[in-house]
Structure 1
């Protein structure tokens, strides 16, 4: 997943201690360090910039209220934060899937979350965002159960056991959904002409990114 720079266990524990004591700067540092990753995860499940922003804010409110539950002896701050964030985001996703709604996503190319990476030109950023938007659009077309497993495994890079514990389903089911999701995602990307029959980026996509 990328660009989030995890805090050392000692640093994270100290920030949590200061934040719990009312130090606003410590809490701001926690938010600044992890907001991009949490937003990106929320966006994968909502496919809407405004919904992802709202959900990210909700996650941080819940995290702030749970700071007293953090125990550095059980792992670093990033793992703890992301475990809570995944639970909240997936719960939100499941609630929305149970309620009829308009599944038409916003214009993804317009509403992609922009955090410019150092060294990339504006044109390279546009091309990268266009390709990312196409992949996100393809993920949105996966059945909900497959989508969750593909996001957690291939984007969040969780282990099978972590997904089992998060979703409370058997490991065999997790592996089956991931495999089926990958196959279906490849079919969708081929239909969208993002990748060719050989599974590689199409000439059209390569010319853009």
Structure 2
């Protein structure tokens, strides 16, 4: 029987100075954190809600909540962005739970000069069509293998580069490219009937 190697003990990374200052109440340090992470948080939310105005509002809510709970944040060696994404994911989930019982229309949607709706019937059909497409994509993703789903989530939902996805999946960039291609082919095959109906 081979002796097992003991797990490597990685040295704990020190809490970044900006984060430490922000936790101590330094507003400029929190502003630096905001400027550093706002784009990634906005992109994460935008890909979940498909509405730039709502994504902007929820992004602001993420940072308001982060600021109000900054003293509860415990540095664990992971990036501060991961904590912000957890807050963002929870806010998006809460938003969809609330909006499932009521229909909200933002002022921007009401007065969007680029979008002219001919009738309420057309708007309802458009909304139904988008909902059907989202359901079809969710169904197609459900039929993928866990590895394929993971690579698509990393590449397109978390907006990771090929190299970042490979590092997070502990594999090579070539494997990520191949898995992405195969996952897209499988998902496209599941979505082919939807394209024919459109």
When the two structures are superposed, what TM-score results if normalisation uses the length of structure 2?
0.50
* Map of 2:158 onto structure 1: 156
Structure 2: any 5+ residue segments left out of the alignment?
Answer: 1-12, 115-128, 143-148, 166-182
Max Rg structure: 2
Q: Is the 8 A contact 2:45 2:58 kept in 1?
A: yes
The 5-angstrom pairing of residues 44-123 of structure 1 reads 44-73=47-76, 75-101=78-104
User: Relative to structure 1, is the Cα distance of residues 40 and 21 closer, same or farther in structure 2, using a 3 angstrom cutoff?
Assistant: same
* Map of 2:31 onto structure 1: 28
Q: What is the CA-CA distance between 1:190 and the residue it aligns to?
A: 4.1
* Map of 1:141 onto structure 2: 133
RMSD over aligned Cα atoms: 4.7
Larger RCO (alpha carbons 8 Å, 6+ apart)? 1
Does the residue aligned with 2:134 lie in a helix, a strand or coil?
coil
Q: What is the CA-CA distance between 1:39 and the residue it aligns to?
A: 0.9
When the two structures are superposed, what TM-score results if normalisation uses the length of structure 1?
0.48
User: Relative to structure 1, is the Cα distance of residues 102 and 27 closer, same or farther in structure 2, using a 3 angstrom cutoff?
Assistant: closer
User: Relative to structure 1, is the Cα distance of residues 191 and 22 closer, same or farther in structure 2, using a 3 angstrom cutoff?
Assistant: farther
Aligned residues: 137
Structure 1: any 5+ residue segments left out of the alignment?
Answer: 1-8, 111-136, 160-177, 194-209
Q: Is the 8 A contact 1:42 1:56 kept in 2?
A: yes
* Map of 2:20 onto structure 1: 17
Aligned partners of 1:81, 1:58: CA distance in 2, in Å? 11
Comparing 25-34 and 46-55, the one that deviates more = 46-55
